[in-house]
Amino acid sequence: MIGQRRVRLWTFRSKLWPDWRGLGRDMAGRCVSGRALIAALLILLATVSGSTGPSSREIWGASRIPSQFSEEERVAIKEALKGAIQIPTVSFSHEESNTTALAEFGEYMRKVFPTVFHSSLIRHEVVGTYSHLLTVQGSDPSLQPYMLMAHFDVVPAPEEGWDVPPFSGLERDGFIHGRGTLDNKNSVMAILQALELLLIRNYSPRRSFFIALGHDEEVSGIKGAQKISALLQARGVRLAFLVDEGSFIMEDFLPNLKKPFAMISVAEKGALDLMLQVNMTPGHSSAPPKETSIGILSAAVSRLEQTPMPNMFGSGPLKQTLKLLSREFSFPTNILFGNLWLFQPIVSRLMERNHITNALVRTTTALTIFNAGVKVNVIPPLAQATINFRIHPSQTVREVLELVKNIVADDRVQLHVLRSFEPLPVSPSDATAIGYQLLQQTIQSVFPEVNIVVPGICIANTDSRHYANLTNGIYLFNPVFLQPQGFSSIHGINEKISVRNYENQVKFIFELIQNADTYKEPVPHLHEL
């Protein structure tokens, strides 16, 4: 029955497919087709007048600065990133970081971007000893400011397994190698680099914006981002939106989808670090009791690992993500993703099959620390295990704790919450959401090969949560192409970015800053009034 229905649906849709695609594009917004028409006219005009084509200055307005960089600038762009990678700004733990390197990084930024740090338009403040806040003054106070964020601390990188030393910043085969090339010195450097290049070209913004560069994101953001946020709140700042790390232009993440798609995360998971502890009477191992602290704790954590948290597919932004992506798939995935009203149960199961997509549909349970015992012939009194839960946007810390208690179901296992925070509220991605729309438009102009932009969920955590008090528009997006191998290199080995990818990241921010000045609020339709 279902099989017959599936075939019928497919036949119906495949007949309509070409029309739907054409129609979809036209209906994506009159302004898009209008802009295409204007672009076509400009090309025609330029051809007649002997020029090679319309520049972005012509399309976006007379005062627009084209994102074209000289050979000399292109060399300086990549050399600046290499230098940043060579400073080992490692966050080891809450208590320990390489503070010498953090301070050196501040000096390095000032040296490499002199125009930024000497501009009369920019106020620079050091916050929490090592983090940086730049306030870029716009000329039009009626425009609400926004914020670009990044962090320059990195996770440790022992040399084993790396093709090149992780703090060498070496260029090889078109890639710059090293810890922080994707997470997240690329963004720190690209933001400052784009601004430096704009200022050199005498740019002055209409819309004010902030640049917040954190020094402790990899261990909490409490000394950096949290302090910057408090400072801005005390100044009464409200942000139109902010952009941080957390998502990419995805390539080869989904089976049967060869084309890249840009995912702007509009939601970020929460987190719960829970320590499980069992205390029993110690004793001689020659006469062990029936149950030991290690055995009881192992059984409890094993139950947690074997009992995944509920699949939350159907709530949150993922349905919209798949609906939008469905057009990019071939049969039968296009039918499944495009008709979730019917195929939701199947799709939610499919998502569980892969560890990355599984993380999108549920709160994940990761056993990360286990401690017990000191000597082979001593029954230890104490066994401890720490579990890192990443909480799905549709759940709360309290709900997860309740589920954990029910799964453990053993009073001898004590639960201690070490740290927890709720998922971020979902940021808007509709036609009126300025941050989302600006990112989408900029992606479309800088990366014409990327057909589709979708809202998504960030499965990791970022500094952006510390700014939730200042805006409801939190967008996580790095304008960089990422494959699954690149994802594994983040916090892993052989982290690297191609020179081309990095140049495009600079170009993207160069364009985004200018687009923020010229963004026009959409006019509401009559029926919405």
Ligand X SMILES: CCCCCCCCCCCCCCCCCC(=O)N[C@@H](Cc1ccccc1)C(=O)O
275 binds ligand X (CB under 6 A): no
DSSP 458: E
Peptide bond into 461 cis (omega under 30): no
216 contact choice in ligand X, Zn ion, none (CB below 5 to 8 Å, kind-dependent) = none
Q: In whole angstroms, give the CA distance from residue 494 to residue 485.
A: 10
Residue 288 Cβ vs ligand X, minimum distance, rounded to whole Å: 37
Segment near ligand X (CB under 6 A), from 129-137, 173-181, 199-207, 249-257? 249-257
- Is 244 known as a binding-site position? yes
Q: For ligand X, which residue of 196, 216, 218, 268 counts as binding (CB under 6 A)? A: 218
What, of ligand X, Zn ion, none, does residue 334 touch, CB below 5 to 8 Å by kind? none
Token output for 99: 């503070």
Q: Which is nearer to ligand X, 205 or 224 (CB)?
A: 224
Does the annotation place 252 within a ligand binding site?
A: no
Cβ–Cβ < 8 Å for 250, 263: yes
Nearer to ligand X (CB atom), residue 205 or residue 260: 260
183 binds Zn ion (CB under 5 A): yes
**Residue 67's binding partner out of Zn ion, ligand X, none, with CB under 5 to 8 Å set by partner kind:** none
Nearest approach, Cβ of 338 to ligand X (angstroms)? Answer: 14
- Backbone φ, ψ for residue 324 (5° rounding): -70, -35
**Residue 501 binds which of ligand X, Zn ion, none (CB < 5-8 A, kind-dependent):** none
Q: Which residues contact 28 (CB under 8 A, 6 or more apart)?
A: none
Asked if residues 363 and 390 have their Cβ atoms less than 8 Å apart, the reply is yes
> Residue 153 interacts with Zn ion (CB under 5 A)?
no
Q: Is 183 annotated as a binding residue?
A: yes
Rounded to whole angstroms, how far apart are CA atoms 246 and 243? 9
Residues annotated catalytic, as ranges = 153, 217
Interface residue with ligand X, options 275, 407, 460, 468 (CB under 6 A): 460
Q: Is residue 140 annotated as involved in ligand binding? A: no
Binding mask 69-98 for ligand X (x = CB under 6 A): ------------------------------
Order the strands of the 496-498 sheet from edge to edge: 171-172, 175-177, 496-498
Identify the CA nearest to 428 among candidates 267, 284, 232, 281. Answer: 267
The closest residue (CB) to ligand X is 460
Q: Does 459 bind ligand X (CB under 6 A)?
A: yes
Q: Closest Cα to residue 106, out of 122, 120, 89?
A: 89
The one of ligand X, Zn ion, none whose footprint includes residue 357, by CB under 5 to 8 A per kind, is ligand X
Residue count, binding to ligand X (CB under 6 A): 18
Q: Interface residues for ligand X in 154-213 (CB under 6 A)?
A: 183
Q: Is 490 in the site for ligand X (CB under 6 A)?
A: yes
Q: Which is nearer to Zn ion, 58 or 218 (CB)?
A: 218
Among 89, 181, 461, 494, binds ligand X (CB under 6 A): 461
118 is in an annotated binding site: no
Selected from 27, 28, 37, 356, the binder of ligand X by CB under 6 A is: 356
Neighbouring C-beta atoms of residue 56, cutoff 10 Å:
17
184 touches Zn ion (CB under 5 A): yes
Which residues ranging from 251 to 270 are in contact with ligand X (CB under 6 A)?
A: 253-254
Extract long-range pairs of 171-175: CB within 8 Å, 24+ residues apart. Answer: 171/78, 171/82, 171/499, 174/498, 174/499, 174/500, 175/496, 175/497, 175/498, 175/499
* Range 375-386 burial, b when 16+ CB lie within 10 A, else e: eeeebbebbbbb
CB of 207 within 8 A of CB of 138? yes
Query: Does position 250 bind ligand X by CB under 6 A?
Result: yes
* Residue tagged 């695609």 (tokens): 21
**Helix axes of 71-85 and 99-112: crossing angle, nearest 10 degrees:** 170
Site residues for ligand X per CB under 6 A: 183, 218-220, 245-246, 250, 253-254, 321, 356-357, 459-462, 487, 490
Annotated binding site for Zn(2+): 151, 183, 218, 244, 491
